[in-house]
Structure 1
Amino acid sequence: MSVPPQPYEREAREVEVTLGPRSLATLPKAHLHLHFTGSMRHGTLLELAERDGIALPDSLVDEWPPQLSAADEKGWFRFQRLYDVARSVLRTPDDVRRLVRETAEDDVRDGGRWLEIQVDPSGYAARFGGITEFTDLVLDCVRDATERTGLQIAVVIAANRTRHPLDARTLARLAVQYADRGVVGFGLSNDERRGRTEDFAAAFAIAERAGLLLAPHGGELRGPEHVRTCLDHLHADRLGHGVRAAEDPELLDRIVQAGVALEVCPVSNVALGVYSDLTSVPLPQLLSAGATVALGADDPLLFGSQLASQYATMRAAHELGDATLAELARMSFRASRAPADQAAVWLAEIDAWLASRDGLEPVTN
């Protein structure tokens, strides 16, 4: 299904009649849905595993990227097992520093200007001395990566919904503690079919009182009813995924009116079996309804697709023009916690990208 031409797109469509599309790698973007271990390069995973004699499953070696489906609990368990195996190769502070630096390099290569990376410190605490110590390490690595690459990076601390809600409160307080040192938000991740989302409301209230961004996962593996739960009980500012709000026009209108942004990750939606193919990802419906959408890569290590590829797949699947892709990039900055003055610079860069004919190639008929 194609997106109907929008007013801001008509001029670009006229250009595209005779010229090919612009490079998506040079389109400035904010990346708002990226998990910490899931951002690791595949080559780095293999190298670190070999260094420490860690046996990796075939699906992370010869059969990479793995064939995944989360249509049932068994499928999600397999996905989570692969994620846990990948996390186990991070053994030293230098490993963590390398992961963050390479993640930044990959985003810069894809046109990234601002990254909000999501991490659950409790998943690394045992090896790195505790949740506070690991958070200190991550933020130090973030500063180093920014100095080396120029990418501006913030952190979203996320609780694991398969753990006790009291653990989530501890992480919410941790997020508040670091709110002036680079932590901008609080999230809730893992299989949204597990546990009771309402039980995490107290943790989100702690983060909300401190003015942190509230970004729980919802509306991917579960449908509109769970999106409502995230809005009603967790007061979500952004929804990790949220794509299945398209199934309920009334709910989608509520999201639009409230200004709740959706972190849509097309490639992972298909890989996990939420949609059968990329043309089924309802991005056109979301855009037509006026929703704020920020495309994200989710877990490139497991899905084999980086940030620019999310734009490229949606361009191909839905025949999106460059003006629509530029507007998606603008929305990614508007939905972010990037400082307003910096965001204004990047928004101007998007306008320049759209106005420029650099890199456009004549179309051969």
Structure 2
Amino acid sequence: MERMHVNPRAGVVRDGTRDLAELPKAHLHLHFTGSMRSLTLLELADKYGVRLPEALTSALTSGEPPRLRATDERGWFRFQRLYDAARACLRAPEDIQRLVREAAEEDVRDGSGWLEIQVDPTSYAPALGGLIPALEIILDAVAAASRDTGLGMRVLVAANRMKHPLDARTLARLAVRFADQGVVGFGLSNDERRGMARDFDRAFAIAREGGLLAAPHGGELAGPSSVRDCLDDLHAARVGHGVRAAEDPVLLRRLADSGVTCEVCPASNVALGVYPKQADVPLRTLFDAGVPMALGADDPLLFGARLTAQYEIARHDHGFTDAELAELARQSVRGSAAPVDVREKLLARVDDWLAV
């Protein structure tokens, strides 16, 4: 039977009719370059005379995301090539400021009250005067966007597992240095099938000792073992993606019992070929097992779906009721690094959304 909620002023509201863009939520898995608007990328490419790959320009102009399949080395290389081409268009502080402001505006439009945007500042350092100036420019842009839009916004500094672990230690120390200026976490991104998590254990120890939340990627391109490695070797408080944990019931119980949040990005899971279709993404398996989740957009520039679209997928492809969608939103807030007062306000607003 279809569930109903009655409000004496609004009348009867049925599940599936509440606006998911108005559902308060936190956004915990959004990559820096991948957050860019399509039009912004096209304008920046024109500004700097950058010739974008045809697969990218045709996707941006058509509104359809590029065809990607990163489950093999060739497919991942192709995905990374498109990402690198987009990143090459970010060359000046004003480009960074524009990207961050627009990412905040998109999140506000999607009902987000808190955004933790993930960035490897070494990628932008050559164009911005070095590693420290690059991070300072990013943090200044985040502070300004947060002030202008009212969105709570912070930064998660991410190391690249394709680089040497010593580089990760340098980044961890830098992240800790800026912990009082907007950095709240430390991550590990790029192809999970490359490099061992334990090689980066010292970097994560530095970050944790400095008070930062540990949020490495695992359990998307690689299987359940990569999630276990994040827990055992890096002491993850959150796992970027983590969906492949659904293949291991023991691991599911461990995640649920420990309260480790998985940052699940259903649109990108399908776009990268991890699952054939949206109905195959194990959202229901994770949710029913009690694993906390925070739905995220990952790289909407390439995958074509922002934050609200992830909740739409949960509703339409997995049959989540409005009460369950509200609980997903609460889980995203609880898994965030937001201050207690911000969490309490967002959680109260989730209750208000459901009570209408």
TM-score category of the 2 structures, normalised to the smaller one: over 0.9
Q: In the alignment, what sits opposite 1:62?
A: 58
Task: Determine the C-alpha separation between the residues in 2 that align with 1:123 and 1:56.
Answer: 18
Determine helix, strand or coil for the equivalent of 1:251.
helix
Task: Determine the C-alpha separation between the residues in 1 that align with 2:20 and 2:123.
Answer: 34
Q: In the alignment, what sits opposite 1:291?
A: 291
Question: Residue 32 in 1 paired to residue 22 in 2?
Answer: no
Q: In the alignment, what sits opposite 1:52?
A: 48
Higher normalized contact order (CA 8 Å, seq sep 6+, divided by chain length) = 1
Shift in Å, 1:87:
0.4
Q: Is this contact kept in 2: 1:161–1:195, CA < 8 A?
A: yes
Q: In the alignment, what sits opposite 2:319?
A: 319
Q: In the alignment, what sits opposite 2:157?
A: 157
When residues 349 and 12 of structure 1 are mapped into structure 2, their CA distance, relative to the original with a 3 A threshold, is: same
Q: In the alignment, what sits opposite 2:202?
A: 202
Q: For 1:221-265, what per-residue CA distance to the aligned partner results, in whole angstroms no more than 9, with x for missing partners?
A: 011111111111000100000011010000110111111100000
Q: Is this contact kept in 2: 1:12–1:321, CA < 8 A?
A: no
Q: Is this contact kept in 2: 1:121–1:134, CA < 8 A?
A: yes
Task: Determine the C-alpha separation between the residues in 2 that align with 1:320 and 1:43.
Answer: 33
Shift in Å, 1:11:
5.8
Task: Determine the C-alpha separation between the residues in 1 that align with 2:26 and 2:255.
Answer: 21
Q: In the alignment, what sits opposite 1:188?
A: 188
**Residue identity opposite 1:344 in structure 2:** E
Which structure 1 residue ranges, 4+ long, deviate > 2 Å from structure 2? 9-13, 15-20
Q: In the alignment, what sits opposite 1:362?
A: none
Q: Is this contact kept in 1: 2:91–2:124, CA < 8 A?
A: no
Q: In the alignment, what sits opposite 1:100?
A: 100
Task: Determine the C-alpha separation between the residues in 2 that align with 1:201 and 1:16.
Answer: 53
Q: In the alignment, what sits opposite 2:37?
A: 41
Determine helix, strand or coil for the equivalent of 2:117.
strand
Task: Determine the C-alpha separation between the residues in 2 that align with 1:139 and 1:194.
Answer: 29
Task: Determine the C-alpha separation between the residues in 1 that align with 2:15 and 2:116.
Answer: 34
Determine helix, strand or coil for the equivalent of 1:292.
coil
**Residue identity opposite 2:78 in structure 1:** R
**Residue identity opposite 1:241 in structure 2:** H
Task: Determine the C-alpha separation between the residues in 2 that align with 1:91 and 1:211.
Answer: 31
Determine helix, strand or coil for the equivalent of 1:54.
coil
Q: In the alignment, what sits opposite 1:90?
A: 90
Q: TM-score, normalised by structure 1?
A: 0.93
Q: Is this contact kept in 1: 2:161–2:191, CA < 8 A?
A: yes
Q: For 1:300-350, what per-residue CA distance to the aligned partner results, in whole angstroms no more than 9, with x for missing partners?
A: 001011000000011100111111111100110000000111110111111
Q: In the alignment, what sits opposite 1:247?
A: 247
Q: Is this contact kept in 2: 1:12–1:322, CA < 8 A?
A: no
Q: In the alignment, what sits opposite 1:348?
A: 348
Q: Which runs of 5+ in 1 are unaligned?
A: 357-365
Task: Determine the C-alpha separation between the residues in 2 that align with 1:72 and 1:120.
Answer: 24
Shift in Å, 1:63:
2.9
CA RMSD after TM alignment: 1.7
Q: TM-score, normalised by structure 2?
A: 0.95
Task: Determine the C-alpha separation between the residues in 1 that align with 2:197 and 2:343.
Answer: 33
Q: For 1:165-217, what per-residue CA distance to the aligned partner results, in whole angstroms no more than 9, with x for missing partners?
A: 00000000011101111100000000001112210001001011112100000
Determine helix, strand or coil for the equivalent of 1:77.
helix
**Residue identity opposite 1:80 in structure 2:** Q
When residues 20 and 213 of structure 1 are mapped into structure 2, their CA distance, relative to the original with a 3 A threshold, is: closer
Q: Is this contact kept in 1: 2:270–2:276, CA < 8 A?
A: yes
Q: Is this contact kept in 1: 2:4–2:13, CA < 8 A?
A: no
When residues 247 and 20 of structure 1 are mapped into structure 2, their CA distance, relative to the original with a 3 A threshold, is: closer
Shift in Å, 1:17:
8.2
Matched ranges for 1:104-183 at <5 A? 104-183=104-183
Q: In the alignment, what sits opposite 1:363?
A: none
The sequence identity of aligned pairs, in percent, is: 62
**Residue identity opposite 1:172 in structure 2:** A
Determine helix, strand or coil for the equivalent of 2:180.
coil
Q: For 1:59-92, what per-residue CA distance to the aligned partner results, in whole angstroms no more than 9, with x for missing partners?
A: 2112342100111011000111111100001111
**Residue identity opposite 2:43 in structure 1:** E
**Residue identity opposite 1:179 in structure 2:** A
Task: Determine the C-alpha separation between the residues in 1 that align with 2:28 and 2:14.
Answer: 34
Q: In the alignment, what sits opposite 2:214?
A: 214
Match of 2:19 among 12, 20, 23: 23
When residues 19 and 290 of structure 1 are mapped into structure 2, their CA distance, relative to the original with a 3 A threshold, is: closer
